[in-house]
Amino acid sequence: MPAQDLPPSGEPWPTEIRLSKDRKTLTIGFDTGESFALAAEYLRVKSPSAESWDYLRDLGRNHAAYWQDYLDDLAAKGMAR
């Protein structure tokens, strides 16, 4: 994997993200060999947006600034999308 594609700080990185045909389970595989099948209901319950519509609203309202921060952070690390 080229250095520019490495995740920051050596954290595990997804190698597969797959939504089941019935759209009820999201399977995520990581470069550590771990793989998890997460039910949609579980994700709704545990996601930051499950009880906090403010979080999603904040993401929408500040999209341009947050995205630019992300791009700036990548550039500072010598990485690209």
Q: Tell me the DSSP string of 41-62.
A: HHHHHHSTTSS-HHHHHHHHHT
Domain span including residue 35: 1-46
30-71: pLDDT as tens digits? 999 999 999 999 988 888 765 677 777 888 899 999 999 999
**Is residue 42 located within the same domain as residue 6?**
yes
Predicted pLDDT of residue 4: 52
**Is residue 39 located within the same domain as residue 2?**
yes
Residue labelled with tokens 């250095």: 3
The structure tokens listed for 18 are 């797959």
Query: How many angstroms separate the CA atoms of 59 and 74, rounded?
Result: 19
Query: How many angstroms separate the CA atoms of 81 and 74, rounded?
Result: 8
Confidence of residue 1 (pLDDT cuts 50, 70, 90): very low
**Is residue 41 located within the same domain as residue 56?**
no
Predicted pLDDT of residue 5: 56
Predicted pLDDT of residue 6: 55
Enter the pTM of the model. 0.55
**Is residue 31 located within the same domain as residue 64?**
no
Closest CA to 37 of 16, 12, 51: 16
